[in-house]
Amino acid sequence: MSARIVDATTLPVGRGPHPAASPFEKRVGEAVGVTAFGLYQVELPAGEETVPHDHTDDHAEDAYAILRGTGWVVVDGEEIPVGPGRFVAVTEGSTRFLRAGHETLVFIAVCA
């Protein structure tokens, strides 16, 4: 098969193998068979945060695409407001995490 299609609404939510994995993530990359990078849909409830982390040891970069809700990407202590249609990329050495605002923040995370 040259393509796999997965409906994210059917995937379980839970912490993946990544050291900074969120208990709110859906491991889309595993479900579609992607091995070159991590691909997650995260449904972060209002007021919740992901785990602060950097990628100094594994030299990975993260990119986030905000689908629904509002909140912040916090990079090296700087709060960057985000909402639908915003994309944020973070370099390997910067500490980062996401925080949901007053509603669920849904975003796609790519780690490569």
* pTM confidence score: 0.90
pLDDT at site 19: 64
The verdict on residue 102 lying in a domain is: yes
* Best CA proximity match to 73, nearest among 101, 111, 45: 101
24 to 3, 8, 30, 64: CA distances (angstroms): 26, 13, 15, 15
Q: How far apart are CA 49 and CA 81, in angstroms?
A: 14
Count of domains forming the chain: 1
The verdict on residue 13 lying in a domain is: no
Tens of pLDDT, residues 15-61: 877 767 788 999 999 999 999 998 999 999 999 999 888 887 878 88
The verdict on residue 15 lying in a domain is: no
The verdict on residue 6 lying in a domain is: no
Region 6-12 average pLDDT: 93
Tens of pLDDT, residues 80-108: 999 999 999 998 888 899 999 999 999 99
The verdict on residue 85 lying in a domain is: yes
pLDDT at site 17: 72
Domain containing 105: what range?
22-111
Two tokens, residue 91 = 């370099």
CB neighbour list of residue 94: distance below 8 Å, 6 or more residues apart: 54, 75, 76
